[in-house]
A and B are shown apart, each in its own frame.
Chain A
């Protein structure tokens, strides 16, 4: 009897106190964990597909298309051709050389999800470092093969610009064929989900890998 009276009298207060305590704890927890990183229990297939689509765009030379799959949809500034013809030839060779391989599955991270990728591409410097000697040698050949000085020199006795640039272009093409080396880098492609859609995070590591180090 006394026990029943005790229980019936005290129990509600116990629940009330517990409820208030839980509420307080919940509020405190929420306020102190605003910056906490969520933990996801599984990574969606859609994120992996986003990585594939983005890299397909890059390997096709469509950097603007790749940018539409990146967080913030940045313009990567590749909406025009390279300024010099020799530069355009090299850039085309670079984008043609890009290949990738997804390693493992997409996995959850503290900030979202990530997909490890091996990206293989032409090393720009391996081509350009031989450009000087090749251009010089080609110009020398043109000089030796010319039948008239006007084929090589202009009215001011300087090398004709068209002859020089032609030699430069030919040197570039030869260097691409014979001197180019290729490098494979391991990149972690980070993604986050915004408004139900996965976006590639355009961080420095990824941009450097897909631009031959131009963007870094």
Chain B
């Protein structure tokens, strides 16, 4: 390798250097290659970063959109849910037994459905009636049955709706004709008392069939004929109107219970009023005597009213169970002419299994009525005009 001459210039050196290294200042291709490589690399990296950055925003949105289940129907769906729940709840309303009742202040009861009255001469054909009345009877047994032997030539009459079953029939017992009205009601308010013209003290009197029709009674019977004599206890619509010389009295409370009180228990009208208030008494019957208590005949040997020792038509109100009553009237008909003494009558009534029984006015007053028609034949063949009655009514309101 030769040495450089000192006299050479840089212009001379450069070419020399070039020759020595193999580079030429004009080798643009190499530089271009280098620059291009660098630029391409940087550009790709930038592009890569840009793409990665955009995925940060857009990639998750797609997944989120896939998970979006909002459908904007919150209240609509909630209402649907509540409609089902309320519908189910209100189904329970149908299971609430409808209870109808009457107000004592309403003198006239709802009109019975005439299509629900019926009659037959064959008691054995009335099993359907007893089956239909099963819910109303609530397990209580009736005195009447399909095996009941009724007097020849007579018929069984009946009425049945949701609130009342009333059956009348005649039987021969000990050569005497006994007329029965067995009643089962749904509510105590259906056992009612009616005074002539709907008020205490009216001077007018009516036949029992007339009063029955005026108040829409399903079945009715005579009361105590309070206007006939100036003594006895008269309670009407919870008010004591009279309390004179008090005989055996039958009070009816707001549960339909017969409360039997012996004579001379009260010494003043105020005492009677207090008793009425304390016991929620609705009305009273004041004839007597008490015939049966605790399933036993308890009638006295001597009694002020009713000629108890003679043979007459008798009437009794008997307690057969919860809201279950029996009216018994003996009458002269069908060739059966025995008129029992009151004791004999009481023993017959007691034989029916009643817990309590109370004598109502007898004689020509004694009568049973159904659908405003006489069932029993009164003494002497004709009704007597009287001041009052007791009756049983349907509680189903009149439909408009």
Contacts and interface: CB of A to CB of B under 8 A. Distances in A.
B52 interface: yes
A15 B57 CA distance: 34
Given A86-B86, A112-B60, A207 B70 contact: yes
A47 interface: no
Contacts of B138: none
A187 B57 CA distance: 24
Nearest to B32: A12
B22 A18 contact: no
Interface stretch (A49-57, A97-105, A125-133, A177-185): A125-133
Given A131-B89, A135-B89, A15 B96 contact: no
Interface of B is mostly: helix
A3 B96 CA distance: 110
Interface string B22-51: 110000001101101111110111011001
B202 to A, nearest CB: 26
A214 B81 contact: yes
Contacts of B41: 15, 18-19, 22-23
Contact of A19 (B37, B68, B69): B37
Contacts of A17: 37
A78 B79 CA distance: 11
A128 to B, nearest CB: 4
A11 B72 CA distance: 65
B139 interface: no
Contact of A82 (B44, B64, B75): B75
A38 B59 contact: yes
Given A37-B60, A38-B60, A4 B67 contact: no
Contact of A157 (B22, B51, B397): B397
Q: On chain B, which size bracket covers the interface?
A: 35 or more
A164 B48 CA distance: 72
Interface string A187-208: 0001011100001011110010
A162 interface: no
A12 B88 contact: no
A111 B63 contact: yes
Interface residues of A, number: 87
Interface in A90-145: 90-91, 110-112, 124, 128, 131-136, 139-140, 143-144
A42 interface: no
Interface in A24-68: 24-27, 29-30, 33-38, 40, 63, 67
Contacts of A174: none
Contacts of B302: none
B17 to A, nearest CB: 13
A133 B78 contact: no
A136 B81 contact: no
B82 A86 contact: yes
Nearest to A134: B89
A193 B57 contact: yes
A37 B82 contact: no
Contacts of B51: 30, 33
Contacts of A153: 98, 100, 397
Nearest to A33: B55
B71 interface: yes
A124 B81 contact: yes
B82 A15 contact: no
Contacts of B6: none
Contacts of A155: 399-400
A111 B63 CA distance: 7
A87 to B, nearest CB: 4
B173 interface: no
B21 A135 contact: no
Contacts of B3: none
Contacts of B95: 136
A74 B72 contact: yes
B101 interface: yes
A87 B82 CA distance: 6
B131 interface: no
A140 B386 CA distance: 41
Closest 3 CB pairs of A and B: A23-B44, A87-B82, A19-B37
26 contacts: A8-B21, A9-B30, A19-B36, A19-B44, A27-B44, A30-B47, A30-B51, A34-B59, A35-B59, A36-B59, A37-B55, A74-B68, A75-B72, A111-B60, A128-B82, A131-B85, A134-B89, A139-B93, A144-B99, A147-B103, A164-B90, A199-B64, A203-B69, A214-B74, A214-B81, A215-B77
Interface of A: 4-5, 8-9, 11-13, 15-20, 22-27, 29-30, 33-38, 40, 63, 67, 70-72, 74-84, 86-87, 90-91, 110-112, 124, 128, 131-136, 139-140, 143-144, 147-149, 153, 155-157, 159, 164, 168, 171, 190, 192-194, 199, 201-204, 207, 211, 214-215
Given A27-B47, A171-B89, A194-B61, 13 more contacts: A26-B44, A26-B45, A26-B48, A67-B70, A77-B71, A77-B74, A83-B82, A83-B83, A90-B82, A131-B88, A134-B89, A139-B93, A192-B61
